[in-house]
Structure 1
Amino acid sequence: MWWKSEAVFVIEDLSSLVFQPKPNSLKYGISPLHAWIRFLEFVLNLSYRLHIKKWQIRNAEDKLLMQQRKSEIQQQFWEKMGLHVHKPKSNGSGSTNDGNTARKAFSNLELFASITNVNIEFLKHLQVILIAISCNFELSVENLKSFCYRTAEIYFQYYEWYPMSATLHKILAHSSQIVQASIVPLGCAGESASEARNKFYKKDRIEHARKDSREHNISDVFNRAMDSSDPFLSSICLKNRHSAKKNLQLPREVISLLKILDVPEYQLPTTSNAIANENFPDFEWEAEDLSLFNIELEVDETGDNFEWN
């Protein structure tokens, strides 16, 4: 189905031949950490325009209304959740929309929905997808594809006037294809570890590197990074890091997307409303929750509860 909004054509059918990717493009995978940030920004940009229902804000009156709405939402995020959203950092290192902000926003969906006025079922679907692509377990291609398509149906039902962002389209339309083309679970190829190293690079450049030339400075930082990446040195404090992790229980909706064999008497949700059931718990996210190390899967006697750390 085609529809036109402000000179932009959008196709609602994600299985359309128009969306067939080039084979080589699937090997680049998905960036789970940045997906959290992009999803947060997409929801924020959508909420700023809800009362106008226009994708492109061109005239002065609409710009003023959107700016007022944006200021109100930013104030509510700070007062109710303690989060600064869509604000530049004082040191010029980017925006306050980072991974921790996104995880905390999605951890309280009812409050998140009340602030943004975005449909809570749509937000729950986004949360399930984000957790699924961030965990280190293998995903079922068919289940993930079906769930993403149901999410797209909810989106087009309520917000057809606002085109999807590139990241949202990539995940809803192509995540199952990327999973099928990937040799490891999506979470194993995440960028959390490399992003966590940035603070160490900055510290090493200031405190443990020569400053007589740029070449010497970068060489010292590189050599120190190579030394610290040695498996033996990394394993020294690995046990302490592992014991400090919080065990988070995966929601049943995420479990239904996993490719797990021989789970006794486990029934998958069969309706789009299953995500709204009482089995969906609340989460408190930490920066280290998406660790690439020591992922364990535990199944209790009923086969319903899976723990990840």
Structure 2
Amino acid sequence: MIDTKVCNSLIDTISAMRCYLCNCTSKSFNDINKMINQEIVTDHLKFGLSSLHCCIRCFEFLLHLSYELEILKWQARSKEEKESVAKRKRIIQAAFKTELGLNVDKPKAGSGTSNDGNTARCFFEKYEKSAQITGIDEDIIHRFYMILQAISCGYQIVVDNFRQYAVELAKDIVKSFGWYYIPTLVRKLLIHGPDIIQNLFLLIGQMSEDAQEACNKFFELYRLHYARKNYRQKTMEDVFKRFLVASDPYISSCRKFPVKPLKSLSAETINLLSAPGVDTQHEDDQSKIDSTSASESGTDVEDYDYLENRNFFL
């Protein structure tokens, strides 16, 4: 999975404020009816949708929108407007730190800003408190949370239900905050998201870049301690080989994975998903066949299941 910057570079998009799917600029994003009927480049749908970056960008969109609520403008031009925005920003940052313990929109040494995935998830999970702090309608933040849950849960999404839900949210945003242009990635999620979901080979939740982002700390570790420093090409070669070793299926199967707590989906999110049809009789027959095959080969059932799972990764 790649992010929007890589997509723009691959297809030579002129500006980050221009959508690489329909070639529209940010000034046209608030015309929802036009955006729905806009023709898109179907070949570019293969780049997918980054669920983690969508969560962060939606969070930043609502956060920056709350900064401008006093001046009701997309950009602060005059000195008075900039002072008003800066003052409201400090108040909101202090409120998030006091109420939720979150450092929002603050620089971090060597790693951008504090607006990471964990901060964004906490923002949407505590949508009632977030709406109270930011002054944005609670229903808008809640519906963003439902959409982000749907694209990251790993289940099959009903495209028609998702499209209707997302378009209604986009129209409500334009109706309430028509003076603020919807960012490129947020618009991509709400308008082009259903087409991307329908075009993907795998489920959208399985195409997340969480694992890729989690490897950044290992990249720094391998480059610092396990790579030659004489040439950049040699450095990258050693890091790449170290990643090949770490990602070997057998070595991965020996690693003890941390147990993560599961979170239940809300009723609105479940309405956007399709319930899989399960044939219990077929599963029972298949389990009997697997058990018989395992016993005939002299392998325990647990070992057989382990080998079956390992073959899946191979």
TM-score between both structures, scaled by the size of structure 1: 0.77
Closer, same or farther: CA 14–214 of 1 in aligned 2, 3 Å: same
User: Percent sequence identity over matched residues?
Assistant: 37
Check if 1:87 corresponds to 2:106: yes
Contact 2:36/2:191 (<8 A) preserved:
no
Report the 3-state secondary structure (helix = DSSP H, G, I; strand = E; otherwise coil) of the residue aligned with 2:58: helix
For the residues of structure 2 that align with 1:241 and 1:176, how far apart are their CA atoms? 33
- Which residue number in structure 2 is paired with residue 176 of structure 1? 194
Check if 1:13 corresponds to 2:19: no
For the residues of structure 1 that align with 2:236 and 2:32, how far apart are their CA atoms? 49
- Which residue number in structure 1 is paired with residue 137 of structure 2? 119
Check if 1:129 corresponds to 2:147: yes
Q: Which amino acid aligns with 2:31?
A: I
Mark the runs of 5 or more structure 2 residues left unpaired by the alignment.
1-25, 279-308, 310-314
- Which residue number in structure 1 is paired with residue 60 of structure 2? 41
The count of residues paired between Structure 1 and Structure 2 equals 253
Equivalent residue in structure 2 for 1:241, among 243, 246, 257: 257
Q: Which has the larger radius of gyration?
A: 2
Contact 2:93/2:104 (<8 A) preserved:
yes
Equivalent residue in structure 2 for 1:151, among 155, 169, 172: 169
For the residues of structure 2 that align with 1:213 and 1:23, how far apart are their CA atoms? 41
Equivalent residue in structure 2 for 1:54, among 70, 73, 77: 73
For the residues of structure 2 that align with 1:114 and 1:215, how far apart are their CA atoms? 51
Closer, same or farther: CA 156–28 of 1 in aligned 2, 3 Å: same
Q: Which amino acid aligns with 1:63?
A: K
- Which residue number in structure 2 is paired with residue 223 of structure 1? 241
- Which residue number in structure 1 is paired with residue 182 of structure 2? 164
Report the 3-state secondary structure (helix = DSSP H, G, I; strand = E; otherwise coil) of the residue aligned with 1:13: helix
Q: Which amino acid aligns with 2:165?
A: F
Mark the runs of 5 or more structure 1 residues left unpaired by the alignment.
1-6, 264-293, 295-309
C-alpha RMSD of the superposition: 1.9
Equivalent residue in structure 2 for 1:69, among 75, 88, 91: 88
Q: Which amino acid aligns with 2:80?
A: E
For the residues of structure 2 that align with 1:55 and 1:86, how far apart are their CA atoms? 18
Q: Which amino acid aligns with 1:157?
A: K
Structure that is richer in helix per residue: 2
Contact 1:14/1:149 (<8 A) preserved:
no
Closer, same or farther: CA 233–160 of 1 in aligned 2, 3 Å: same
Contact 1:74/1:85 (<8 A) preserved:
yes
For the residues of structure 2 that align with 1:16 and 1:80, how far apart are their CA atoms? 39
State the Cα deviation string for residues 149-180 of structure 1 (Å, max 9, x = none): 12123212311121111111111111111111
For the residues of structure 2 that align with 1:224 and 1:178, how far apart are their CA atoms? 33
Report the 3-state secondary structure (helix = DSSP H, G, I; strand = E; otherwise coil) of the residue aligned with 2:73: coil
Report the 3-state secondary structure (helix = DSSP H, G, I; strand = E; otherwise coil) of the residue aligned with 1:20: coil
For the residues of structure 1 that align with 2:240 and 2:234, how far apart are their CA atoms? 10
- Which residue number in structure 2 is paired with residue 289 of structure 1? none
- Which residue number in structure 1 is paired with residue 51 of structure 2? 32
- Which residue number in structure 2 is paired with residue 306 of structure 1? none
Deviation beyond 6 Å, 4+ runs, structure 1: none
Contact 1:138/1:184 (<8 A) preserved:
no
Shift of 1:187: 1.4
For the residues of structure 2 that align with 1:23 and 1:216, how far apart are their CA atoms? 39
State the Cα deviation string for residues 210-260 of structure 1 (Å, max 9, x = none): 3343333222211110011111111112xx426x12111111111111122
